């Protein structure tokens, strides 16, 4: 039987919205109740004809509260049992996709009354936490039991995670800055345009009764950073960033035109869905062809303009997704709407509010109201999900379309054909790199946390690197309002945490930098390193450990340096280990500094050091401080020195090698006695146990350490290195026979037999003269 196009035509028959602003945080309503109220509001909008007839509910991916089955609970709240009840996926385009697919099902006769609904209560949760209130909501589901949804996490490369660029608020600015550069605009001009655009959104929100922020700030207020409008991620301050701290729900109900008319719904309240288009970018933002455009967005918006006859001037009303200014900027440049057409009918994700994945439901509700009121005949609703990832747009009208909906609305082939070559992504790189795009990430107080550069190597490969906040020159390049830095040349190095770091200008000589955390003295072939934080018992922050790692890198690489002595500044401590005050401060800021790859003092995770290191322990060596000393080859201790691994007393463990090195050095039972009690051990007892080589009076400590160093440098440095390597690697062999057989394969042993020193020793002995060691 042939279908009747007019009879089966899908239409929007009802809309409902709810905003919850309780004066008492304890009375805030949970998301599923807000959604139930939104559907009830839609039922009233249709004259009470909807609720009992619903056969399909699709719930937009919900985030603010964990439910086992939110759509099932919603149906229970409404007292209905629809045949189709789906917990849908995440993504800002999801409401548009669900409406489009519901319309197709209605056209095919698979559904009569379909509801798309979503809701969030992030604001309520934030206020409850602040007031220390337990909300009387549905018990929170465990992470294991909570509903699983598609696209609940962004697909991200290891490079993106390492650079700390994993949140949309830090990724969209990469597009904004690239777009400004492509258009030849300075950041100052780009900021003015963003602020003016956002002021248009704010003005619309001010007239929308369901909007969250209705104060309509001016373009100047929006674009000027202040205490209440702090920088989030360059170039965006807070008022240019989507606002999820709302309690809002919305519902859109679709049915066939025939059902609507039979139910007595007036025809002038029906809104027709003409069709739409969808396409996606590669999920990982680092695997895209560029950042000044989106081929998927271009394809989708181009297709919907084609749907209305290729003339965008026919569009009277628009809802352009607006999580960040760059999205509507790109979309509006593609569409070419009439100047009098505002980019929003609801108010945007900042001022109307950004109920996470469900904003476009509200956008369609606002558009339906305006179409019904005769404020336009044709509307375009464009949603976007992920980070410029998923794109979907539909056309709505007060008049019926001339043709039925097209079942296949994907324009992916069109997007893919338009896409340029995608550069290869390099995970590890050091060398020249030019800025492709960039941003600066700020902390909650508006201070720079670190910069980010997406760069290109001379071979055209792509990388993402951090910019250290203490690199004032590079940060100044990225924060300039007068010059866009895209195209600026710089260099990438690998820092002590294993991160790629971009620095402006030519490659810098790290050996000439000012040391902040230690002192270094060279006396002939002896390097003396002093941990320099005496006011905090020489406790070491991650940055201090990184600096010491670079110092020992330089020592290890310098053929003229043969022995190192490590000590602490002052007369109280060698090192108290981890700088807990610094770590607490970083945690309070929400910063995770990480652990340098070479460990405490650049030694505890360094397993290829063949040059000897002497620890001159001048006082307390606790926790990480003791682990540093254990990582050295010889320990000379002041009689006032104290050693311990006290971590178990504060619920921690000595995981920087102490639990492994101590049993090797003094035997299992004695080591367990120290480890399991966390007890303090004096220098004299340390010598009895076997981990201290010599105990001296405090005044004689450094002289004694130098005496040990002088005795070592009297020997061939090549022999010393080969001997140390044979000992350390031999401990990992199965037995002495294996170790003895394999020692000739060790690099330092092979270097010894190729060296000048191996000939110099016997020759000097034969000539009855002191040997002249070369160390090579």
Residues 446 and 542 in one domain: no
Cβ 593 vs Cβ 542: under 8 Å:
yes
**Residue whose token pair is 């081929």:** 295
Residue 529 covered by a domain: yes
Distance CA 87, CA 590 (A): 32
Q: Are strands 634-638 and 613-617 parallel, antiparallel or unpaired?
A: parallel
Residue 350 covered by a domain: yes
Query: Which of 281, 550, 627, 725 is the catalytic position?
Result: 627
Residues 385 and 469 in one domain: no
Q: Say how many C-beta atoms besides its own lie within 10 A of residue 116's C-beta.
A: 29
Cβ 297 vs Cβ 384: under 8 Å:
yes
Q: In the structure encoding, which two tokens stand for residue 747, read together? A: 């690099």
Cβ 363 vs Cβ 344: under 8 Å:
yes
Distance CA 522, CA 506 (A): 28
Residues 12 and 112 in one domain: yes
Residue after which a domain boundary falls, among 418, 440, 455: 418
Q: Hey, which residues does 84 pair with through a beta bridge? A: 56
- The CATH number of residue 151's host domain is 3.40.47.10
647 is an active site residue? yes
**Residue whose token pair is 């929003």:** 344
Distance CA 173, CA 236 (A): 7
Distance CA 211, CA 743 (A): 75
Residues 563 and 458 in one domain: no
Residues 270 and 406 in one domain: yes
**Total count of domains within the chain:** 4
Cβ 128 vs Cβ 26: under 8 Å:
yes
Residue 336 covered by a domain: yes
Distance CA 379, CA 373 (A): 13
Residue after which a domain boundary falls, among 457, 481, 507: 507
Q: In the structure encoding, which two tokens stand for residue 343, read together? A: 């980019």
Q: Which helix (H) or strand (E) holds 438?
A: strand 431-442
Provide the greatest CA pair distance for the chain: 117
Q: What is the CA radius of gyration of the chain?
A: 34
Q: Which residues contact 68 (CB under 8 A, 6 or more apart)?
A: 141, 145, 146, 147
Residue 231 covered by a domain: no
| Angle, helices 658-666/668-677, rounded to nearest 10 degrees | 140
Q: Which helix (H) or strand (E) holds 317?
A: strand 317-320
Altogether, the residues listed in the chain come to a count of: 776
| Angle, helices 70-78/31-45, rounded to nearest 10 degrees | 50
Residues 633 and 665 in one domain: yes
Residues 564 and 655 in one domain: yes
Residue 229 covered by a domain: no
Q: In the structure encoding, which two tokens stand for residue 119, read together? A: 């809701």
Residue after which a domain boundary falls, among 471, 486, 507: 507
Residue 206 covered by a domain: no
Counting as low any pLDDT under 50, the low residues of the chain are 1-3
Residue 16 φ then ψ, to 5°: -150, 140
Q: Say how many C-beta atoms besides its own lie within 10 A of residue 655's C-beta.
A: 14
What's the sign of the alpha-carbon dihedral 259, 261, 263, 266?
A: positive
Distance CA 167, CA 158 (A): 14
Residues 325 and 404 in one domain: yes
Strands (E), 481-557: 489-494, 500-504, 518-523, 526-531
Distance CA 728, CA 612 (A): 12
Residues 289 and 152 in one domain: yes
Q: What angle do CA 330, 335, 338 make, to 5 degrees?
A: 115
User: In terms of residue numbers, what domain contains 573?
Assistant: 515-712
Residue 235 covered by a domain: no
- The CATH number of residue 587's host domain is 3.90.226.10
Q: In the structure encoding, which two tokens stand for residue 457, read together? A: 């190597």
Cβ 488 vs Cβ 477: under 8 Å:
yes
Distance CA 252, CA 254 (A): 7
How far from the centroid of its chain's Cα atoms is residue 254's Cα? 38
Quick: pLDDT tens for 566-617.
999 999 999 999 888 888 888 777 777 788 999 999 999 999 999 999 999 9
Strands (E), 388-525: 390-397, 431-442, 448-456, 462-467, 489-494, 500-504, 518-523
Q: Are strands 563-568 and 526-531 parallel, antiparallel or unpaired?
A: parallel
The reply to whether omega before 522 is within 30° of 0 (cis) is no
Q: Are strands 448-456 and 431-442 parallel, antiparallel or unpaired?
A: antiparallel
**Residue whose token pair is 């792509």:** 462
- The CATH number of residue 479's host domain is 2.40.50.840
**Confidence (pTM):** 0.92
Quick: pLDDT tens for 667-699.
999 999 999 999 999 999 999 999 999 999 999
Residues 414 and 443 in one domain: no
Q: Are strands 462-467 and 448-456 parallel, antiparallel or unpaired?
A: antiparallel
Distance CA 763, CA 770 (A): 10
Query: Which of 647, 685, 694, 756 is the catalytic position?
Result: 647
- The pLDDT, as a whole number, for residue 154 is 87
Q: Which helix (H) or strand (E) holds 115?
A: strand 113-121
Residue 181 covered by a domain: no
Residues 389 and 439 in one domain: no
Please name which of 211, 253, 205 lies closest in space to residue 16, comparing C-alpha atoms. 253
Residues 261 and 385 in one domain: yes
Please name which of 114, 72, 122 lies closest in space to residue 97, comparing C-alpha atoms. 114
């Amino acid at each position: 039987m042939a279908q009747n196009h007019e009879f089966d035509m899908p239409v929007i028959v009802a809309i409902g919205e709810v905003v919850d602003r309780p004066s008492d945080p304890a009375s805030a309503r949970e998301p599923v109740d807000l959604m139930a109220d939104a559907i009830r509001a839609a039922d009233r909008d249709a004259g009470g004809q909807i609720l009992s007839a619903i056969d399909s509910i699709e719930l937009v991916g919900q985030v603010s509260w964990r439910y086992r089955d939110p759509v099932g609970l919603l149906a229970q709240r409404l007292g209905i049992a629809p045949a189709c009840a789906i917990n849908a996926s995440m993504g800002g385009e999801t409401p548009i996709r669900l409406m489009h697919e519901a319309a197709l099902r209605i056209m095919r006769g698979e559904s009569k009354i379909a509801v798309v609904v979503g809701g969030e209560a992030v604001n309520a949760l934030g206020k409850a936490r602040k007031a220390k209130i337990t909300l009387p909501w549905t018990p929170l589901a465990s992470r294991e039991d909570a509903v699983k949804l598609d696209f609940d996490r962004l697909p991200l490369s290891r490079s993106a995670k390492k650079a700390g660029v994993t949140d949309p608020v830090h990724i969209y600015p990469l597009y904004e800055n690239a777009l400004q550069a492509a258009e030849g605009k300075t950041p100052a001009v780009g900021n003015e345009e963003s602020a003016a655009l956002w002021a248009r959104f704010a003005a619309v929100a001010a007239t929308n009764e369901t909007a969250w922020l209705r104060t309509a700030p001016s373009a100047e207020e929006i674009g000027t950073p202040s205490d209440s409008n702090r920088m989030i991620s360059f170039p965006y301050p807070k008022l240019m960033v989507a606002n999820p701290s709302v309690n809002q729900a919305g519902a859109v109900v679709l049915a066939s035109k025939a059902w609507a008319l039979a139910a007595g719904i007036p025809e002038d309240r029906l809104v027709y869905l003409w069709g739409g288009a969808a396409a996606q970018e590669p999920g990982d933002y680092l695997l895209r062809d560029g950042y000044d455009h989106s081929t998927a967005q271009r394809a989708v918006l181009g297709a919907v303009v084609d749907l209305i006859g290729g003339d965008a001037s026919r569009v009277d009303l628009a809802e352009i997704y607006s999580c960040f200014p760059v999205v509507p900027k790109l979309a509006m440049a593609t569409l070419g709407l009439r100047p009098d057409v505002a980019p929003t009918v609801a108010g945007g994700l900042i001022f109307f509010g950004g109920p996470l994945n469900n904003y476009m439901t509200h956008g369609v509700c606002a558009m339906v109201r305006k179409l019904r009121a005769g404020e336009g005949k044709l509307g375009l609703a464009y949603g976007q999900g992920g980070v410029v990832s998923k794109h979907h747009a539909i056309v709505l009208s007060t008049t019926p379309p001339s043709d039925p909906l097209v079942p296949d609305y994907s324009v992916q082939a069109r997007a893919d054909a338009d896409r340029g070559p995608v550069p290869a992504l390099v995970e590890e790189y050091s060398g020249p790199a030019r800025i492709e795009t960039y941003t600066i990430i700020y902390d909650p107080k508006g201070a720079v946390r670190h910069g980010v550069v997406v760069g290109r190597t001379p071979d055209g490969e792509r990388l993402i690197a951090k910019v250290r906040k203490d690199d004032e020159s590079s940060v100044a390049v990225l924060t300039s309002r007068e010059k866009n830095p895209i195209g600026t040349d710089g260099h990438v190095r690998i820092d002590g945490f294993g991160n790629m770091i971009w620095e402006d200008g030519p490659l810098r000589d790290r050996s000439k930098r000012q040391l902040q955390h230690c002192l270094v003295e060279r006396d002939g072939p002896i390097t003396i390193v002093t941990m320099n934080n005496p006011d905090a018992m020489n406790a070491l922050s991650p940055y201090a450990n990184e600096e010491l790692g670079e110092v020992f890198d330089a020592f290890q690489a310098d053929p003229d340096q043969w022995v190192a002595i490590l000590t602490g500044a002052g007369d109280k401590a060698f090192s108290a280990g981890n700088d807990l005050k610094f770590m607490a401060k970083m945690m309070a800021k929400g910063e995770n500094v990480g652990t340098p790859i070479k460990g405490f003092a650049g030694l505890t995770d360094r397993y290829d050091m063949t040059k000897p290191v002497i620890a001159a322990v001048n006082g307390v060596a606790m926790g990480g401080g003791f682990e540093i000393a254990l990582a050295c080859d010889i320990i000379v201790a002041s009689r006032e020195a104290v050693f311990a691994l006290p971590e178990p007393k504060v619920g921690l463990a000595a995981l920087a090698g102490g639990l492994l090195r101590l049993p090797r050095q003094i035997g299992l039972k004695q080591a367990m006695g120290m480890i399991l009690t966390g007890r303090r051990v004096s220098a004299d007892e340390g010598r009895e146990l076997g981990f201290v080589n010599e105990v001296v009076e405090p005044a004689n400590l450094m002289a004694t350490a130098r005496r040990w160093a002088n005795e070592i440098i009297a020997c061939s440095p090549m022999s010393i290195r080969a001997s140390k390597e044979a000992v350390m690697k031999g401990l990992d062999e199965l037995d002495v026979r294996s170790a003895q057989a394999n020692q000739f394969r060790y690099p330092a042993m092979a270097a010894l037999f190729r060296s000048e020193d191996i000939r110099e020793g016997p020759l000097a002995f034969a000539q009855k003269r002191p040997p002249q060691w070369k160390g090579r």
